[in-house]
Each structure stands twice: as structure tokens, then as C-alpha cells.
Amino acid sequence: MALPEPSRIPGGLAQPAGRVYNFNGGPAALPLPVLEEAAAELLNWRGTGMSILENSHRDKKVVAMALEAEDDLKSLLRLGEDWKVLFLQGGASLQFAMIPMNFAPDGLPCDYVNTGMWSDKAYKEARLVGADARLAASSEDDGFTYIPDSFSFRLASRYVYLTSNNTVRGTQWKAFPSRPPAPLVADMSSDFLSRPLDLTDFALVHAGAQKNVAPAGLTIVLVRKDFALNGKKGLPHLLDYRTYIDSDSMYNTPPVFCIYVAGLVFKWLKAQGGLDRVCLRNEAKAKRLYDAIDSSGGFYRGTAREDSRSLMNVTYRLPSPELEKKFLEEGKAQGLCGLGGHRSVGGVRASIYNAVPDAGVDALIAFMKDFQAANG
């Protein structure tokens, strides 16, 4: 993949003509060099004379592409041979059921930390499929505005489940539970590959790719092989992680185009210097935006507690729903799109994933200042 030099990627460049700044919560912004690379070889991928959209998933070049993507992802995360990368379908929502079906079947115990909509859905799904799922902590008492720091884990639990970033309420784990009594399992859909990860205490991580990695349709699962091999036997093949480990994710037709784009994103991240450098840029973007909120004299009001604020999803309110509606309409007219809060809570949400350039955040901040001056 012909990528720009790392010094040219970090982000201060304005968008090409006709493109807006995309702050959607997902499907979300993809890196411009990745879009350009995919467009350039869309009609004739790697000399095959056909598009990657048309190639068979059994073709040797497609199989090699998927394995290369796996290797690049493992390199980014510094994963050893005890881990397997799986390219699946069904979104995080299918993982809500697959995980307890494999690892806490037939009434076995598992603990959940509820920090918002998605962890709540996962907890309820675990109970639905017959696991003895229990809440070890929850931040529902304050509208999911914070990440708990006190837990009641059971020693017999088969795993401890959490959601690393809450897209709806704008909260994020800064540090995961230390020395848990069972392996950690996490939904990292909305902050996957936004920062370095120490997976020492983890056995499985899943992430819908449509936030930070690829188009909708791909779910990435990182699973420790020994954990997967000890899962429940006798499950339907499509619900058994071993099926995908044994077939290198090719048991049935995978989302080939999504894997291809994910592979380009992995190379883009490596070209920037890896996740340490990516994280520094994400922290700087988020700081500028939160500083603009905090210095507005209350005109803009962040919804997450300061110590739990997300680097990916910055959520805030204006003085009235009418002003929020006006803010969103005028922002969109200026090319600042996708700023509406989740439909369940309303307000404003700026999702500033890896591919959102510095210039986009700066343009949003400038608009916020102008809007306050005109409406404050």
C-alpha cells in the first residue's frame, strides 16, 4: 500500500473539495489515504482483473490478504502466538450471546460491569442464554456518567465482562480492573486501536469494525487460544469460536471487502508509528475539544465526569433543546456532520476517532465559539 510518510499523516490538512468533516458515531470516518488506495484498485485488485468485491474468498490472494491483515493487527497490538485474530460477522450484538454460550453455559457464573447501553445489552443477553450473569458494578445510579472503581467479583466467575468505551454517554475506562479473579472479556468496539493495550489479564476482545477500522459488516475478535479451546463443546458450528480458529475465519464466506479495508487501516496505523503515536494525537484532539467545552462558561456542558471522559466520543449539551437543534443544523451547513447525540439521550456528540483529522476538530471548536458568540 502506497502510504504517505508518517510525518504527513497526523492530520492538519483540510478535507478535499466536496468532503465534510465526519463526526458520526458509527459507521464513522475512515482515513483518507485508505479510501484513496481502495478507490485506486477497486476495478483491478492486485492484478486479478476484478474488484476485491468480486473475488472469491477461497482465492489464494484473498486468503493471503486476510492472513496479512491478521499479522499486521497482531504486530500493532504486540500479540503472541497464543492469540488468534478472527474476522467474523454479526456485530458486537452476536458476541453478546456467543461469549456466554461458549464460556458460561448451563448456568455457570460470569460477572458484568454495567457502564451503559451496550454493556447492559450484553448482560441481559447472557442471562437470556442461560448464564448465571451478575452485575459486579454499575454506574446506572448516576446516568452512566462515570466508570466504577469498586467491584464485587465472584471467585467462581468464568470471566469478567466490560465495555471499554461508552459511545452513548461518552465515558471510557482509563485503567481496567487489576488482578481480576477471572479473565477479562471486553467489547472494545468504539475505542479499538485508539491506544496501546496491555492484554495480560484478557482472554477475549471483540470490536465492531465500523468505528475505527473498516466499514460496517466486520467484527474483529481477539481470543486467547487456550480460552477458546476450553469453551463448551457441541455448539452449532457458527457459534463456536473453534470453528473460526481452525478455518482462519474462512469457514463460511467472510466479509472480504471489510477485511481488505481493515488491512489497509492496519498499515495506515503502522505507517503513523503505531498505537503509541496514535494515542498521543487522540489525547491532544480530545483535550482541545474538552477545553473548549470547559471554557465556555457553562454554555456547553459535558455530560461525563471529568475522570471518565472518553477520548473517542465527546458528549455535551447546550442550554436548551432548541439551541441544540440549531447548533446541529448550522454545523451541518458548515460541513460538520454527524454531531447529533445518540437517539436515546439527545444532545451533541462529536466522535473523534483515529481518522478524524486535527483540522476537523479545530473547525468544530471554531464553530462552537462562533455559535456561542451569536447565541449566548
Grid cell for residue 58? 477461497
List the catalytic residues.
Answer: 118, 187, 211
* DSSP class of 197: -
CB count within 10 Å of CB 48 equals: 15
Cell 475522570 belongs to 307
N- to C-terminal Cα separation, the chain: 48
Question: Across-strand partners of 138?
Answer: 114
User: Residue 252 region, left (φ>0) first, then alpha (ψ -120 to 50), else beta?
Assistant: beta
User: In terms of Cα–Cα distance, which of 76, 350, 11, 8 is closest to 213?
Assistant: 76
CB count within 10 Å of CB 151 equals: 15
Distance CA 301, CA 290 (A): 10
Distance CA 289, CA 177 (A): 28
Q: Residue 268 in contact with residue 296, Cβ under 8 Å?
A: no
